């Protein structure tokens, strides 16, 4: 069995600024990661941890160095770069120089291969300059990213493939949000691109982040996931368990392990989602 954790949007260095959906305790990241390590010791073993992006709030060498120091946990950590991780022209070079341990192939795009699955990390783009977020939020992939991903999907037809990118692939179901308008609706071109890839290659689950909300939207046999930030109450993260014949996701939190007098906004419980937004268990098509 492969067991991994999925967290996102830690926004190290944001201070009092930045988008939030629940009260934010980003300055408590060291304590949160210590609590997460305690959780792992109680509930492990865990093979690795995936970070869905926005590890830091703004690109600077200091922010990367500090985040890398806090994320020095005794298990592999892999990062899918988010828009806040890419706010300068030399962002990728700086990440590779200061935190190469997060990028297994010395590349922004990489694959984690286990005995049960392959997880393809493919950070989406935001504007006309690759790997730079300065003004626009136009989620898309470079042609070269899609070609590389398709080569890997094509090359291992007998494996369970998961995909991780930063931007959500779908807006939040209105049955969850209770809103009368879309919430974090991506461009249709991005949705169509990812949906087509997932369905073409029988990908059971696509992970995303960025919205700061838990989502589990099931469409045509694919579970599209986002996770609420580890640094916002109630400090949630996901546990994935992959077997050749099944895929399971559970949402857990560190609320009871954090003694910081944390607050919670009970007017926005949709962020945590309904039971169906927080977990799933599904059987996988057996591979020959
Ligand atoms: Fe983001």
For residue 70, being part of any structural domain is answered with yes
210 Cα–ligand 1 center, Å: 4
32 Cα–ligand 1 center, Å: 20
pLDDT value for 193: 98
For residue 232, being part of any structural domain is answered with yes
The CATH number assigned to the domain holding 99 equals: 3.60.21.10
267: alpha, beta or left? (left if phi > 0; alpha if psi -120 to 50): alpha
85 Cα–ligand 1 center, Å: 8
For residue 288, being part of any structural domain is answered with no
Full domain range(s) for residue 90: 2-283
For residue 119, being part of any structural domain is answered with yes
| Residue 16 to residue 118: CA distance in whole angstroms | 38
pLDDT in tens, 179-203: 888 888 899 999 999 999 999 999 9
Q: How many domains does the chain have?
A: 1
158 Cα–ligand 1 center, Å: 33
pLDDT in tens, 5-37: 999 999 999 988 889 999 999 999 999 999 999
> Which residues of the chain fall short of a pLDDT of 50?
none
């Amino acid at each position: 069995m492969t067991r991994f954790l999925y967290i996102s949007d830690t926004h190290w260095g944001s201070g009092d600024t930045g988008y939030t959906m629940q009260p934010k305790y980003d300055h408590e990241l060291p304590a949160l990661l210590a609590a997460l390590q305690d959780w792992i010791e109680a509930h492990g073993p865990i093979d690795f941890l995936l970070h869905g992006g926005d590890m830091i709030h703004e690109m600077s060498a200091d922010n990367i160095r500090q985040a890398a120091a806090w994320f020095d946990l005794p298990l592999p950590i892999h990062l899918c770069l988010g828009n806040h991780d890419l706010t300068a022209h030399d962002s990728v070079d700086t990440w590779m120089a200061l935190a190469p341990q997060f990028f297994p192939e010395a590349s922004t795009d990489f694959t984690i291969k286990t005995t049960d699955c392959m997880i393809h990390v493919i950070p989406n783009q935001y504007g006309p300059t690759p790997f730079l977020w300065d003004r626009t939020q136009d989620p898309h992939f470079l042609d070269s990213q899609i070609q590389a991903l398709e080569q890997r999907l094509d090359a291992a037809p007998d494996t369970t493939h998961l995909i991780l990118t930063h931007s959500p692939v779908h807006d939040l179901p209105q049955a969850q949000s209770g809103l009368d308008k879309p919430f974090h609706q991506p461009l249709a071109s991005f949705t169509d691109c990812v949906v087509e890839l997932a369905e073409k290659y029988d990908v059971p689950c696509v992970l995303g982040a960025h919205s700061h909300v838990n989502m589990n939207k099931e469409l045509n046999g694919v579970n599209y996931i986002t996770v609420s930030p580890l640094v916002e109450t109630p400090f949630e993260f996901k546990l994935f368990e992959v077997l050749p014949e099944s895929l399971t996701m559970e949402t857990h939190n560190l609320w009871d392990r954090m003694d910081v007098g944390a607050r919670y906004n009970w007017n926005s419980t949709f962020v945590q989602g309904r039971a169906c937004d927080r977990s799933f268990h599904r059987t996988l098509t057996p591979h020959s």
